[in-house]
Structure 1
């Protein structure tokens, strides 16, 4: 190696390390290295994958919008007589370009060397790959991802010697069509099409997050500007909030049990926080509550899932179609999925006293089909009993009062306001429903401090049935008529 070549190589490697920083890695044991080249994509760049079935293309097409694609990787080794005589030995690998497209790029790199023989060439190669790859290969949005044929697929290999290969057609058009002309230096570094899509989406998300973390953002809650690493954004609407504000917001919602409404705090925004975002911010115990409630609310929406009615169990139970019997997989309890009681076969469901009101209201509001279902489920006699009991209760509430001592319902048809309960024989006032003394029950009506003073006589007696003079006399001197 001449001193001029060695000096040129060292200067070039130092310059590349300074320009590309994290994208460039120098080899430790030889004059060479590896550079990862990320392409600049147009805005709203789309990729798509077509299904392999014989159905229509539209029904099997999956499309994604990305801002970043995995980098092209240029591995190179500098021969002793570079750059005076020989070009760098290299391999070019990529995940989302076919081997034919990579072969076309390899061929173009050879042409660039031929045009600049005797000069350092690595920077020119890298700039071409970074800025002109898409235009050179005629790649535009939407771009279809494809895999090379199984027989031609190569795994990522070490540096190979620079030998003349078959002409793979330097033009991009021939690269797209001539997949039989594959350069040995071109490596499609991917296992399968499905793994390729996953790697692209994961890389795009990671790069977006990296760009977000490096910039300042305004929190829409506290209105403070903070670095992106201290903030979080909702992926659908891109509204940004600092982690401290979102943490308090999430914790409040979870404690209130509103796990289905962890929406973006922006007014009228319907974006929902992802579980991963919630887990990143809240404590482990709160996230466990969030996860449990979220699962429960999801199961509640499934018509074929019921819960074991035992309070200490509550295990979700999957029902067989058309079967009302549920068997808990945890405690083996067999129960009726309609009334949540022990399974009773073809017998009608039993109704508790507390549920009679709900059953009566449900029956009165139901249409004919639902009424027949309720009659079949509970039995006509049970339905009729519920209706009769509710009618009786409503009548008693309107036409009677309860004894203040034992609660017996009493209807007053006439007479004075001093009442005697037929159940417990307690004296009480019909006006204020207060208990009266057993010794002198009438003192309640003679006491000037009592709200019922001078109101002993039944106030609803028609004045036409009693002479007016008698009524006035009774009001003035009620003691004359007391026993």
Structure 2
């Protein structure tokens, strides 16, 4: 290496070190010959999208960088060009070759001059132009949607899109850490390192405010579908990693446990043991009613009926509480035809009778009213609004359910101060005097 080439190389590397930060320029100081890596981020237009499935695309602000790994020969730049290799996860070998050819052309036009910085700026500004990419990076043209066993090892378009998405998130967090932000919740100014940023909409608020919000809803047990707490229009759910980055370990443990319990509850073949509350796998979907209703807990060995939760009673009908009957009846009324058949099969031969009983109770509760003294249901088929309870003989007003005087029950309807004044026959059919 001539002293002139050595000095030019040293000056060029010093200049790159001063211009580019450590994340954009690396030198292997242990190598016998000068080699390193330029890490180049491509400049994107304002409205830039990536397409990863047919008719599926999303906007992106950053793409993973191009890695230009170079080696400087001893006679660079007076005689030889740097040897180099390009790598980029969202490009094909053909696209990388196009960029390589353009870099070689730049060397031909500027031979005997330091070229690394020109390569860096050109790749930054002209990569999309050289690859004939305008506003959309169509990954479906460069990467397959699926990989078969016979295909060579490579990424799918969806996997490349996921890599781009992850890089963009990390890039935004790095940029956020270098800024001071005004929290839209408490209006305080905080460093970006003390902020929370939503992956989906990029809304930002201080971690203290987000921590308070998340801890409140997790303490209340609302762990399903926690969406962006900053932007109400953002309906994307927060990831467990996002929540763990804000709340303390105890709160996250509660969140994780409740979320697991919700997932167990959503499984059709899982039921909780009535005795120890541990999950039990049950048999469903068979023609054998006994198998469908038999649950055996592996933890406490309790054998129980999966319908009523009591000790397994075989072919004998279940004994239901009033609240259980109400829940069953409500589920059945809101179910589809297929869901109704499944419910009927689950509860067996006594189901029709149970539904008839509940329908009668439902009708009574809809049309009748409770006596203010003994609370039984009393129905009014006709007549005036002065009612007499058949059980306790209490007089009461059908309109306001107020208990009436035994000696003057009609005074309630003749008193101008009463809200039922002149309403003795309100709502009743016409009366022929």
| TM-score, normalising length: structure 1 | 0.63
Quick check: 1:336 aligned with 2:313? Answer: no
Match of 1:234 among 160, 178, 198: 198
Indicate the RMSD between aligned Cα atoms, in angstroms. 4.3
1:301–1:295 CA distance, 2 compared to 1 (3 A): same
C-alpha distance in 2, partners of 1:96/1:73?
Answer: 12
User: Does residue 84 in structure 1 map to residue 93 in structure 2?
Assistant: no
Q: State the partner residue of 1:38.
A: 41
Return the alpha-carbon distance in structure 1 between the equivalents of residues 228 and 48 of structure 2.
Answer: 26
Q: CA deviation at 1:37?
A: 0.7
Provide structure 2 residue ranges, at least 5 long, that are not aligned to the other structure.
Answer: 377-390, 394-404, 410-433
Distance 2:160 2:328 in 1: 61
Q: CA deviation at 1:298?
A: 4.0
SS of residue paired to 2:86: strand
| Higher relative contact order (Cα pairs below 8 Å, separated by 6+ residues) | 1
> 1:274: Cα distance to partner?
2.5
Q: Distance between the aligned counterparts of 2:352 and 2:134, measured in 1?
A: 70
Higher alpha-carbon Rg: 1
Deviations 1:163-203 (A, max 9, x none): xxxxxxxxxxxxxxxxxxxxxxxxxxx94336534432222
Partner of 2:126: 132
Partners of 1:237 and 1:127 lie apart in 2 by: 30
Would the alpha carbon gap of residues 379 and 359 (structure 1) be closer, same or farther in structure 2, given more than 3 Å must change? farther
Q: Distance in 1 between matches of 2:324 and 2:260?
A: 32
Q: What pairs up with 1:81-230 in 2 under 5 angstroms?
A: 81-145=75-139, 146-147=142-143, 191-193=154-156, 195-230=159-194
Contiguous gaps of at least 5 residues in structure 1: 51-57, 155-189, 400-410, 414-457, 463-483
Which stretch has the larger CA shift, 261-270 or 310-319? 261-270
Equivalent in the alignment of 1:377: 350
Aligned match of 1:422: none
Q: Quick one: distance in 1 between partners of 2:101 and 2:170?
A: 32
- The alpha-carbon distance between structure 1 residues 319 and 209, as it changes in their structure 2 partners (threshold 3 A), is farther
Whether the aligned pair in 2 keeps the contact of 1:68 and 1:207 (CA below 8 Å) is yes
Instruction: Report if aligned partners of 1:375, 1:383 keep a CA contact under 8 Å in 2.
Output: no
CA shift digits 1:302-357 (9 cap, x unpaired) = 5x2442232423315355225642535633544333222233333321124x5488
d(CA) in 1 for partners of 2:227 and 2:328? 39
Deviations 1:285-316 (A, max 9, x none): 221211222233344445x2442232423315
Structure 2 equivalent of residue 19 of structure 1: 19
Match of 1:209, SS?
helix
1:325 is matched with 293
Q: CA deviation at 1:387?
A: 7.1
| Cα pair 1:360 1:386 within 8 Å, conserved | no
Q: Map of 1:386-401 to 2, 5 A cutoff?
A: 397=374
Alignment of 1:210-289 (within 5 A): 210-260=174-224, 262-266=226-230, 268-269=232-233, 271=235, 272-289=237-254
Structure 1 residues 32 and 263: alpha-carbon distance in aligned structure 2, compared to 1, 3 A threshold: closer
Residue 381 of structure 2: aligned partner: none
- Find the counterpart in structure 2 of residue 179 from structure 1: none
Distance of aligned partners of 1:237 and 1:330 in 2 relative to their CA distance in 1, 3 Å threshold: farther
Q: Tell me how far apart the structure 2 counterparts of residues 133 and 365 of structure 1 sit (CA, whole Å).
A: 62
Q: 2:275–2:302: 8 Å Cα contact kept in structure 1?
A: no
Aligned residues: 358
**Cα displacement (A) at 1:385:** 11
Contact residue 269 and residue 284 of structure 2 kept, 8 A = no
The CA distance in 2 between the partners of 1:297 and 1:364, in whole Å, is: 22
Contact kept, 8 Å, 1:350 with 1:378, in 2: the verdict is no
Pick closer, same or farther for the CA change 1:328–1:233 going to 2, 3 Å: farther
Q: Partner of 1:73 in structure 2?
A: 67
Deviation at 1:103, TM superposition (A): 1.4
Aligned partners of 1:360 and 1:25: how far apart in 2? 68
Residues 409-441 of structure 1: per-residue CA shift (max 9 Å, x gap) = xx788xxxxxxxxxxxxxxxxxxxxxxxxxxxx
The answer for the alignment partner of 1:442 in structure 2 is none
Say if 1:69 and 1:204, in contact at 8 Å, map to a contact too: yes
Name the CA distance, whole Å, in 2 between partners of 1:72 and 1:236.
Answer: 25
Q: CA deviation at 1:232?
A: 0.8
CA deviation after TM superposition for structure 1 residue 12, in Å: 0.5
TM-score of the aligned structures, taking structure 2 as reference length:
0.69
